[in-house]
Amino acid sequence: MTDDLLEERLPTIPEGYRQMNWTQGFGRQIGPLYERNGPGDSYARAFLVSEHHTNGMRNCHGGMLMAFADMAFGHAITQRAHRYWVTVRLLTDFLSSAAVGEFVEGTAEVVGEEDDLYTVRGRIWTGARTIMTGTGVFKALGARPARPLAAVADAAE
């Protein structure tokens, strides 16, 4: 047995978050990712900065933060319209860094909608420190399949 499988070495994830079921493709490369849903369209996505997320200074790599912002900000379209989406534009400002072991969270809100284009404003943070802010334009595509009732009930808790 290796020490990375021991229960006492598992990270502590804040209450209300659950691990996302994104274990293939790009999600597998950058995960694990977490999510929690609040009332209405409110939500947060998150990840724990691990060794594979870091740059040479052992801080979270800017590319990881950009990829995470894309997923966290774009999810506002899923929450609002329950549709798939693609990114048209993503503009961000890096304000701080995140070190190994920090829990990084992100969310966004829709601030404009025209035809199938949605404009969002988002924020990425750890604890009380804002790491990144930004805006994005996303194009909504087809409808997402309905979530199973068990998943909807879990999200409401």
8 Å CB contact between 68 and 119: no
What's the pLDDT at 22?
79
What's the pLDDT at 146?
81
Domain 3-156 adopts which CATH fold? Thiol Ester Dehydrase; Chain A (3.10.129)
**Half-sphere CA count of 65, side-chain side, radius 13 A:** 28
8 Å CB contact between 128 and 68: no
What's the pLDDT at 23?
74
What's the pLDDT at 65?
97
pTM for the complete prediction? 0.84
Determine whether 3 is exposed, middle or buried from the number of CB atoms within 10 Å of its CB (0-12, 13-18, 19+).
exposed
3-state SS record for the chain = CCHHHCHHHCCCCCCCCEECCCCCHHHHHHCCEEEEECCCCCEEEEEECCHHHECCCCEECHHHHHHHHHHHHHHHHHHHHCEEEEEEEEEEEECCCCECCCEEEEEEEEEEEECCEEEEEEEEEECCEEEEEEEEEEEEEEECCCCCHHHHHHHHC
Residue with tokens 């829709």: 110
**Mean pLDDT of each 10-residue bin along the chain, 157 residues long:** 54 86 80 90 93 92 95 94 95 96 96 96 97 97 76 47
